[in-house]
Amino acid sequence: MNHASKIKFFLAAFASLTFTSQLIAQVAIHGETVYTMAGDPLQNGVVVVRDGKISAIGRADEIKVPEGFRLLKAKIVTPGLVDAHTSVGLSGMFNQDHDQDQFERSEPIQPELRAIDAYNSQEELIGWVRSFGVTTIHTGHAPGELISGQTMIVKTTGTTVEEAAIVEARAVAATLSSLAQKSDSKSPGTRGKMVSMLRAELIRAQEYMDKLLATDKLAESQEKTPPPRDLRLETLAKVLAGEMPLMITANRTQDIASALRLAKEFEITIWLDGAAEAYRLTEEILAAGVPVLIHPTMARPTSDLENLTFETASKLIDAGVPVALQSGYEAYVPKTRVVLFEAGMAAANGLTFEQALATITIDAASILGIQERVGSLEVGKDGDLAMYDGDPFEYTSHCTGVIINGQIVSDSEQ
C-alpha cells in the first residue's frame, strides 16, 4: 500500500469510527426537577435517550440508567425550546449585506421564495440562540413585504440545511401592516391596496388550480396543454388547498380583522403573527379558530406596536386562544431576541410558570404541527432537552447543556 492509499484508508476508517460513535452515542439526564410538559413535573427525574429518541422517563428510583450511558445532571430539565417564529439563519448577527437574506425588496408579492434556499446552517446566530436551550426554530423570510416568502422548521444543529430541516416548507409569510406599505406612489401604499392585492393574487391562484384540474380531467379523452408552470401561483395554491397556512403579520385591530376576513372569504388556514392588539379581538380570534404567534414581549412599542401589552399572552390564553411566543425579527444587532427571556416576561405578567414554558415548548410545537416529535419529553419523541442550573426564567440562571436528537451539542461539564 503506497503512502496516498494509506492516507485514504486511515481517513475512511476515522470517518467510519466517527459516524459510528455518533450513531451509538447514548445519554441519560438526571434533573432535580424535570418539566416533561406532558404531565406534572417530575421531582428527582431521569430521561434516557437512546439512538436519538427518548426511550424512558420517570423518577430516578424507577428508571435504571443503562450501563455505558453517559449521565448528565442539572437542577432543571425541560424539553428543547421551540421558537415559533424567527428569521435566524436568514438574518445574520453581523448586520452586514452578506449575512442578511431575510428580505427581497424587488417585488411586494413573492411566495415562491423558499427559506431552504436562503438558510445558512453555519450562521453564528443559530449557535447563540441554541446556547439558551432553543433546539427548534420556525424561520424564514421576515415581515416587511406583502408576501415575503416561505418559512421552514429546523433544528439548531446540522452542517447543512438538509441535516437541520424538519419541515422544508411550512407556511407562507404575509404582512398586513405599515411594514409592507410603499412610498413614492408604489404599491401597496395603503391598507386597502394591501388587502386588494392579496385578494387578487389568491383569486389568480384559484383560477390556476381550476385550469390544472380541468387539464387533468381532459388528459385521457383529448389532448389538452396544461398552463405554464407558475411557482408563485403553485405556492398560493397550496395555501388554498390547506397544505400550507398563510402566516399574516398584523398588529393593529383593523389589520387583524382584515386577516380574519380573508381567511373566512377564501376558507384558508391562517396564523396571526405579532398581533399586538389581539386582546381587542379575543372573541373573534377564538371563534375563527386561529392561533396567535405573539410578538416578542419586549418588542419596542412604536408604530403598529404602540398598543402592545405584556399581558397579551395571558389574556389570550385565559380566553382559550392557542398561543406561542416568538423571538421575531429585529432590524438591529443581534437581529433576534430569545424566547426563553420572552417567556420569562410573560410569566411575570399573568402566566403561570408552566403556561409560559408551554408557549415555547409543547404549545409552540402543536401550532407548528410538529408535536409528535418535539415540545415535550415523552417516550418515542426526539431526544431534545435543555438543562439549567436554576429557574430558567431567572436572568441569573444559566443553560448548562443542550441535547439535540440525542447528541450533546453543549455541556458545561466538557
Dump the DSSP string for 195-210: HHHHHHHHHHHHHHHH
Question: Which residue segment(s) compose the domain that 205 sits in?
Answer: 81-374
Contact 211, 233 (CB under 8 A): no
Q: What does the block give as the cell for 261? A: 376576513
- For residues 133 and 53, membership in a common domain is answered with no
Distance between CA atoms of 72 and 230, rounded to whole angstroms? 52
- For residues 366 and 387, membership in a common domain is answered with no
Domain assignment present for residue 298? The answer is yes
| φ/ψ of residue 316, rounded to 5 | -70, -40
Element holding 232 (H helix, E strand) = helix 231-240
CATH number of the domain encompassing residue 46: 2.30.40.10
Q: Tell me what pLDDT residue 222 has.
A: 60
Cβ count within 10 A of residue 116: 17
CATH number of the domain encompassing residue 129: 3.20.20.140
Q: Total structural domains in the chain?
A: 2
- For residues 34 and 114, membership in a common domain is answered with no
- For residues 56 and 191, membership in a common domain is answered with no
Domain assignment present for residue 10? The answer is no
Contact 53, 385 (CB under 8 A): no
Last residue of a domain, one of 374, 389, 406: 374
Q: Tell me what pLDDT residue 414 has.
A: 43
- For residues 123 and 193, membership in a common domain is answered with yes
Domain assignment present for residue 9? The answer is no
- For residues 238 and 321, membership in a common domain is answered with yes
Which of the residues in the chain have pLDDT under 50? 3-4, 6-24, 414
Distance between CA atoms of 361 and 366, rounded to whole angstroms? 9
pLDDT in tens, 253-268: 999 999 999 999 999 9
Domain assignment present for residue 6? The answer is no
Length of the chain (residues): 414
Q: Tell me what pLDDT residue 376 has.
A: 98
Domain assignment present for residue 13? The answer is no
- For residues 272 and 391, membership in a common domain is answered with no
- For residues 43 and 139, membership in a common domain is answered with no
Domain assignment present for residue 17? The answer is no
Domain assignment present for residue 15? The answer is no
- For residues 264 and 369, membership in a common domain is answered with yes
pLDDT in tens, 385-407: 999 999 999 999 999 999 999 99
- For residues 229 and 185, membership in a common domain is answered with yes
Whole-model pTM: value is: 0.91
Domain assignment present for residue 175? The answer is yes
Distance between CA atoms of 407 and 52, rounded to whole angstroms? 7
- For residues 163 and 30, membership in a common domain is answered with no
- For residues 359 and 236, membership in a common domain is answered with yes
